[in-house]
Amino acid sequence: MKSVFCRATLLITTLLMIFSCGKTYTESEFKEFRITDASGTVRECGIYLPVGYSDKQEFPVIYMFDGLIFKDNNYKHLMDSLIGFKLISPVVIACTYENKEQIPGYRISYRNAEFVENISKDDDKLKDLFDKHYSFATHDFIKYVEKHYGVQRQRDGRIFYGTSNSADFGITVSMRDPSLFAEYWCYSPVYSDLSHYGMLEDDANYRLCWGLKEEGNNDYFPALVNAIRKRGGHVYSWAFEGGHDRIFWRKCFKDELIHRFPYK
């Protein structure tokens, strides 16, 4: 009798494990976690798992490298609404949180040095910060997400999303490691300098926008678009009514989601 009970308990436990591992989400979830990179720096991260998510599938994934935008501007509600009203198909969003603290002895924050190669390249300390963050973002973070979640692992299944400093970071990633992403959503990038980069090794698509009221709009942004195209990038660009502002970036992000991931 005891043996039968043990076998029955084992069977039930096994079935529960199978069903729990393969369950499909009926509600969305936003999980936060930490990753310690190769330099020992603890990085704060988060991931949005939509309704319909299951570890058994591989979902398209947007890597949001200015991830506090997701939290501060309630992107979860935006995603839930778009998916709930069947305006888009389910998408996973993986976030890293930028460090807004000021660097001791400098007038800039860590996020400036870690995202913008052009700011960091002529200062050994800043360059070290950039290089460590670059290694984390393009290796540790992506590998962690792909190991722990059901996301697409091919280049065509990943999208880079960045705004302001992190948009500039995306353009740098596209030049230095073109095998990582096939598509870049870069809103209001700053300080980009591509003069030391040659032709792109792989086809890359850019969705690049900026505000009509942003500083340098008349010269900088059109010149950046031309610089990317000169190196073989396919750029769709537009200007929106407004300035360097998260409200406008959120609207553009919403429009891009509807365009890129129509409901199926």
Residue 62, beta-bridge partner list? 93, 159
Helices (H) and strands (E) in the chain, counts: 10, 8
Predicted confidence at residue 7, as pLDDT, reads: 55
Tell me the C-alpha distance between 124 and 66, whole Å.
24
49 touches 78 (CB < 8 A)? no
Query: How do residues 5-25 score in pLDDT, each as one tens digit?
Result: 445 444 444 444 444 445 688
DSSP string, 200-226: -SS--EEEEEEETTSTTTTTHHHHHHH
Mean pLDDT of the chain: 91
Contact in structure between 239 and 217 (CB atoms under 8 Å): yes
Give 142-154 pLDDT, tens digit per residue.
Answer: 999 999 999 999 9
Which structural domains are found in the chain, ordered by start? Answer: 26-260 (3.40.50.1820)
Mean pLDDT of 127-131: 97
Asked whether the beta carbons of 217 and 238 are under 8 A apart, the reply is no
At residue 215, the pLDDT reads 81
For the stretch 57-116, pLDDT in tens is: 999 999 999 999 999 999 999 999 999 999 999 999 999 999 999 999 999 999 999 999
State the pLDDT at residue 15. Answer: 40
| % of the chain at pLDDT higher than 70 | 91
Q: Mean pLDDT across the stretch 220-249?
A: 95
Q: What is the pTM of this model?
A: 0.89
Q: Which two tokens stand for residue 128?
A: 């070290």
Q: Are strands 92-96 and 158-163 parallel, antiparallel or unpaired?
A: unpaired
